Amino acid sequence: MASLEPPPGNRMRVVTFVVSTFGSLGREANNFLKQVSRSRDHFLPPPLLPESSWATPNCSSFLRSAITMEVRKRVAALLREPE
């Protein structure tokens, strides 16, 4: 079984997961976002605070909201494009 931790010295890794066209996140995505949130003690980085709201009080909810919004914006752009 592969380790979830990156090798020493590596701070980034590529994680892929499924997001529906309605913005729903799969179990793997939710687990990953929870892991990221835990690694930040559930706090948003200070540069992202102006982008947050009462609806996104922690890192995990903020990331879910941001991903969902980006998917919805892209779907809307695709629907506006002429065929």
- The values of phi and psi at residue 14, to 5°, are -90, 130
pLDDT of residue 6: 60
- For residues 42 and 50, the answer to whether their CB atoms sit within 8 Å is no
pLDDT of residue 24: 87
pLDDT of residue 7: 65
pLDDT of residue 46: 83
pLDDT of residue 4: 65
Q: At what angle do helices 59-80 and 27-39 cross, to 10 degrees?
A: 130
* Interior angle at CA 27, CA 31 and CA 9, nearest 5: 35
Longest dimension (CA), the chain: 49
Q: What predicted TM-score, i.e. pTM, was given to this entire model?
A: 0.69
What residue spans define the domains of the chain? 27-80
Spatial neighbors of 18 by CB under 8 A, at least 6 apart, are 25, 26, 28, 29
pLDDT along the chain (83 residues), means of 10: 64 80 86 88 84 84 89 90 78
pLDDT of residue 23: 82
pLDDT of residue 77: 92
- The values of phi and psi at residue 22, to 5°, are -90, -5
